[in-house]
Amino acid sequence: MRTEVVDPQLKFEIKNVRPVELNDLTESLRALGNEYQDFISREHPDATASEVRLYVNEVKSGSVIATLCAMSPLLLDGISYVNTVVDFTGFLKHVVSRLSGDDVNSAGVEELLPSTLSNVSQIVEPIAKDGGSQLNIGTLNVTGNVYLQVPSKEANVIQNQARRIAGERKAKTSGKHEKVVLHWFQARADKDSRSGDRAKIESISSKAVKTICATESLKSRMVLSDKNPFNEAFIVDVVAETINGKVVVYKVIELHDRFMPEEDEQESVAEA
């Protein structure tokens, strides 16, 4: 099957002072590719369906210069992905601007995804280690090129900010949470089951997370009663466990109350 190249291209340049460690360069480019994939999955799902990815098109001598392009072996006729590289570079510029701002509470910082914080930290790693160096990322072959410049000092600020945000998020999400609202997303009707149970606690995370109950009686009260647990909400105490700042397990340690959300909404409307 024919592979097609979609312009414009993306230029990745490290103006280094000292030699760049091969592993740092490889991981930097890998993080760039991963962040591009995450970006188009959110902003250009049609490109994701066509397996559009960043590929190194050319490596030049002098400074470390790599020219990358969006390519797809499954590119659909009549569909153009010209804007994906431009939009992506603009997004990176926005992220860097937020993370390198003098104001540690710069608007938009807290909304950055954990994966973006990790990827951007890795992208700037080669210059963060090399004082006086600079990373330049920009688009080629397009009107209104987007350019991004990151000096080594700024790279260190970016990494420190990313670590700070990740640490604060972990502190907010991990550990004990009292009287939060839990809604079962999936549960097995077996008091001894420890697999397949997943629940949402939106005050902690918008995603359904693997959930276990501290005792068999807790699970029986929540899941195995005469009422349908999926129609109810539960006020519980839980312990949230995280990996890299992402919640991976809820452990329910106390059940305080249960209620029917839809009925409560109907009552509120009637009272109004």
Task: State pTM to two decimals.
Answer: 0.65
Alpha-carbon distance of 154 to 204, in angstroms, equals 32
Alpha-carbon distance of 119 to 88, in angstroms, equals 13
pLDDT at 271 over 60: no
**Same domain, yes or no: 98 and 76:** yes
Q: Which residues of 172-202 are buried (b: 16+ CB within 10 A; e: fewer)?
A: ebbeebeebebbbeebeeeeeeeeebebbbe
Structure token digits, residue 251: 């452990």
Query: Which of 125, 128, 117 is CA-nearest to residue 95?
Result: 117
Distance separating the N- and C-terminal Cα atoms of the chain: 63
Which secondary-structure segment (H or E) carries 186? strand 175-186
pLDDT tier, 7 (very low <50, low <70, confident <90, very high otherwise) = low
**Same domain, yes or no: 192 and 159:** no
**Same domain, yes or no: 141 and 56:** yes
* Last residue within a domain, chosen from 111, 145, 172: 172
Sheet with 4-15, side-by-side order of all strands = 53-60, 64-72, 4-15, 134-140, 147-151
**Same domain, yes or no: 196 and 65:** no
Answer for the pair 235, 264: CB distance below 8 angstroms, yes or no: no
pLDDT at 125 over 70: yes
- Using CA atoms in the order 185, 208, 222, 241, what is the torsion angle rounded to 10 degrees? 170
* C-alpha distances out from residue 22 to 121, 196, 197, Å: 17, 42, 43
Query: Residue 196, CB half-sphere, CA atoms under 13 Å: how many?
Result: 8
Neighbouring C-beta atoms of residue 115, cutoff 10 Å: 16
- Mean pLDDT for 111-129 is 91
At residue 188, the pLDDT reads 74
Q: What is the total residue count of the chain?
A: 272
- Mean pLDDT for 182-206 is 79
Summarised one tens digit per residue, pLDDT across range 85-101 is 888 999 999 999 989 87
**Same domain, yes or no: 204 and 165:** no
At residue 42, the pLDDT reads 84
At residue 91, the pLDDT reads 93
**Same domain, yes or no: 185 and 167:** no
Q: Per the structure, how many domains does the chain have?
A: 2
**Same domain, yes or no: 136 and 207:** no
* Last residue within a domain, chosen from 150, 172, 194: 172
**Same domain, yes or no: 152 and 240:** no
pLDDT at 250 over 90: yes
**Same domain, yes or no: 31 and 48:** yes
pLDDT tier, 155 (very low <50, low <70, confident <90, very high otherwise) = very high
Domain coverage including residue 69: 4-172
- Mapping DSSP to helix (H, G, I), strand (E, B) and coil, where does residue 266 land? helix
pLDDT tier, 166 (very low <50, low <70, confident <90, very high otherwise) = confident
At residue 51, the pLDDT reads 76
Residues 6 or more apart whose CB falls under 8 angstroms from that of 119 comprise: 31, 32, 34, 35, 38
Most confidently predicted of 40-44, 166-170, 267-271 = 40-44
**Same domain, yes or no: 18 and 120:** yes
How do 246-259 and 205-213 pair as beta strands? parallel
At residue 108, the pLDDT reads 53
- Mean pLDDT for 228-251 is 89
**Same domain, yes or no: 148 and 186:** no
At residue 84, the pLDDT reads 83
* Last residue within a domain, chosen from 153, 172, 191: 172
- Mean pLDDT for 10-17 is 92
Answer for the pair 152, 100: CB distance below 8 angstroms, yes or no: no
Answer for the pair 149, 158: CB distance below 8 angstroms, yes or no: no
pLDDT at 27 over 90: yes
**Same domain, yes or no: 75 and 185:** no
Mean pLDDT of the chain: 82
* C-alpha distances out from residue 50 to 25, 69, 113, 121, Å: 27, 15, 24, 28
Q: Which amino acid is at 188?
A: R
At residue 110's C-alpha, the angle toward residues 152 and 246, to 5°, is 95
- The rounded percent of the chain whose pLDDT value lies above 90 is 44
